[in-house]
C-alpha cells in the first residue's frame, strides 16, 4: 500500500514517463484512508468499491463507487471512509509535464501552460451525473485499463486520454481559475509548515504549544485550525506519523519493538503498543 504523509517527494513513474497508478484497498470502516498531505503532481482518485469523504483544502467531497475526485497541484488533502466494508480506489498520479507538446503550438500556449503554471484547476468532483461527467469517468477508466494491461503503446494512449480529459474540461467550461481567498491560502500554508515541522521532528518530544508557536497563533486557535485541515487533533496526527514510521522500521530493520518505539519518538512502550493497534489493527509483534 502506498504511504502518504506531508509533502510527497516520491518520484511517480520515470523521467520519460512521469505517470503512475496505485491500487489502494482498505477492508475496515471508520478509518482515515489518506493522511493529510500535498504534492506538486496532479492526481485523479477513482473509487471502485465503497465510498469516502475527501477534504481538499477546506471543502468536503463525498465520493462514491464509480465516481472520481481530482486533486490539483499543491492542494492539501486527506480522506476517510465510514463504509462498513471499507473501500478501495485507484490513485492516478502524474506530472503535468507529461502533457506538454514539443512544438509549443497554440494548444500548449493556451491550454497546457496555464495548467502547468497553476493558473487554473480542474473541477474536483466527477460524479457521473451529467454527460460530460460520464465522459470524464469513461476516460479515467480507460486510463486505468490501459496501464493495467500495459499493451503496446499504452504510454501514448495514456497521454492521449489525459489530453482528452483536459479538453473535455475546457469544452464544458469546467476549469476553475485559481482564486483561493487570502485567508485560505494563509491557513493552508500554515498547516503545511506545521506538517513539515512534525516530519522533521517526530523523533523528539513535540507539544501542542510547540506547534502553535511554529505559526504564531494561540494553542486554542491552532487546535481548531489543525483539526479543520487534517481531520485529526495534533497529537493524533503525530501518533499516526510515528506509527507509520514504526511499521516501516519493523518491516525493514532488525530493531526490536522497544527500540522501534523509542526510535520514532514514543516514551512509553505500552502507549506505543496501544497506538499501533489503534492505527494498524494489529499488535506490533505481528509485523514480520
pLDDT digits (tens, 9 = 90+) for 165-191: 999 999 999 988 887 677 778 888 899
Statement: residue 206 has pLDDT above 70:
yes
Please, which residues have CB within 8 angstroms of residue 131's CB and are 6 or more apart in sequence?
none
Q: Report residue 5's pLDDT band, with 50, 70 and 90 as the boundaries.
A: very low
Q: Which three cell numbers stand for residue 253?
A: 530493520
Are the C-beta atoms of residues 237 and 6 closer than 8 Å to each other? no
pLDDT in tens, 131-160: 999 999 999 999 999 999 999 999 999 999
Note whether 129 and 246 are same-domain residues: no
Note whether 140 and 256 are same-domain residues: no
Regarding pTM above 0.85, the answer is no
Which residues is 21 bridged to in the sheet?
92
Find the mean pLDDT for residues 271-276: 94
Note whether 18 and 78 are same-domain residues: yes
Q: According to the model, what pLDDT value does residue 194 have?
A: 94
Neighbours of 94 (CB within 10 A): 22
User: Is 30 a domain residue?
Assistant: yes
Distance of alpha carbon 265 from alpha carbon 114, whole angstroms = 43
Note whether 161 and 202 are same-domain residues: no
Q: According to the model, what pLDDT value does residue 8 have?
A: 54
Q: Which residue range is the domain that position 236 belongs to?
A: 182-286
183: left (phi over 0), alpha (psi -120 to 50) or beta: alpha
The 10 Å CB-count burial string (b at 16+, else e) for 168-197 is: bbeeeebbeeeeeeeeeeebbebbbebbeb
- Classified as helix, coil or strand, 279 is helix
User: Is 1 a domain residue?
Assistant: no
Q: Which residue has the higher pLDDT, 50 or 1?
A: 50
Lowest mean pLDDT among 5-19, 47-61, 243-257, 266-280: 5-19
Note whether 158 and 201 are same-domain residues: no
Which residues is 154 bridged to in the sheet?
none
For residue 88, the 8-state DSSP code is E
Domain of residue 163, CATH code: 2.60.120.10
Q: Report how many domains make up the chain.
A: 2
Q: How far is CA 204 from CA 126, 167, 236, in A?
A: 42, 48, 16
Helical axes 182-201 vs 219-230, angle rounded to 10°: 90
Note whether 86 and 42 are same-domain residues: yes
Which of 144, 177, 210 terminates a domain? The answer is 177
Distance of alpha carbon 163 from alpha carbon 1, whole angstroms = 28
Note whether 166 and 270 are same-domain residues: no
Q: According to the model, what pLDDT value does residue 177 have?
A: 85
pLDDT in tens, 67-115: 999 999 889 998 988 877 889 999 999 998 899 877 778 888 888 888 8
User: Is 200 a domain residue?
Assistant: yes
Note whether 100 and 236 are same-domain residues: no
Q: Which three cell numbers stand for residue 229?
A: 485541515
User: Is 211 a domain residue?
Assistant: yes
Statement: residue 44 has pLDDT above 50:
yes
Note whether 148 and 206 are same-domain residues: no
Note whether 83 and 138 are same-domain residues: yes
Of 18, 9, 93, 57, whose CA–CA distance to 178 is shortest? 57
Q: Which residue has the higher pLDDT, 105 or 62?
A: 62
DSSP 175-204: -EE----HHHHHHHHHHHHHHHHHHHHTTS
Amino acid at each position: 500500500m502506498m504511504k502518504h504523509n506531508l509533502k510527497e517527494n516520491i518520484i511517480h513513474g520515470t523521467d520519460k514517463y512521469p505517470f503512475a497508478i496505485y491500487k489502494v484497498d482498505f477492508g475496515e470502516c471508520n478509518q482515515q484512508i489518506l493522511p493529510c498531505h500535498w504534492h506538486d503532481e496532479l492526481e485523479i482518485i477513482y473509487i471502485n468499491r465503497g465510498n469516502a469523504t475527501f477534504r481538499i483544502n477546506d471543502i468536503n467531497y463525498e465520493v462514491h463507487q464509480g465516481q472520481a475526485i481530482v486533486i490539483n497541484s499543491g492542494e492539501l488533502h486527506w480522506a476517510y471512509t465510514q463504509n462498513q466494508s471499507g473501500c478501495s480506489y485507484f490513485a492516478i498520479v502524474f506530472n503535468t509535464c507529461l502533457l506538454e507538446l514539443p512544438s509549443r503550438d497554440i494548444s500548449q500556449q493556451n491550454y497546457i501552460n496555464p495548467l502547468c503554471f497553476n493558473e487554473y484547476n480542474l473541477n474536483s468532483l466527477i460524479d457521473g451525473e451529467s454527460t460530460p461527467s460520464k465522459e470524464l469517468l469513461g476516460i479515467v477508466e480507460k486510463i486505468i485499463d490501459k496501464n493495467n494491461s500495459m499493451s503496446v503503446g499504452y504510454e501514448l494512449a495514456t497521454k492521449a486520454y489525459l489530453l482528452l480529459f483536459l479538453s473535455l474540461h475546457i469544452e464544458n467550461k469546467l476549469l476553475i481559475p485559481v482564486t483561493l481567498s487570502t485567508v485560505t491560502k494563509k491557513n493552508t500554508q500554515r498547516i503545511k509548515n506545521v506538517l513539515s515541522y512534525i516530519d522533521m521532528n517526530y523523533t523528539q518530544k513535540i507539544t501542542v504549544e510547540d506547534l502553535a508557536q511554529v505559526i504564531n497563533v494561540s494553542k486554542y486557535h491552532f487546535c481548531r485550525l489543525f483539526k479543520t485541515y487534517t481531520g485529526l487533533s495534533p497529537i493524533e496526527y503525530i501518533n499516526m506519523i510515528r506509527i507509520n514510521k514504526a511499521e516501516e522500521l519493523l518491516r525493514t530493520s532488525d530493531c526490536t519493538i522497544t527500540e522501534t518505539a523509542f526510535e520514532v519518538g514514543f516514551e512509553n512502550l505500552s502507549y506505543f503498543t496501544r497506538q499501533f493497534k489503534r492505527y494498524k489493527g494489529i499488535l506490533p509483534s505481528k509485523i514480520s
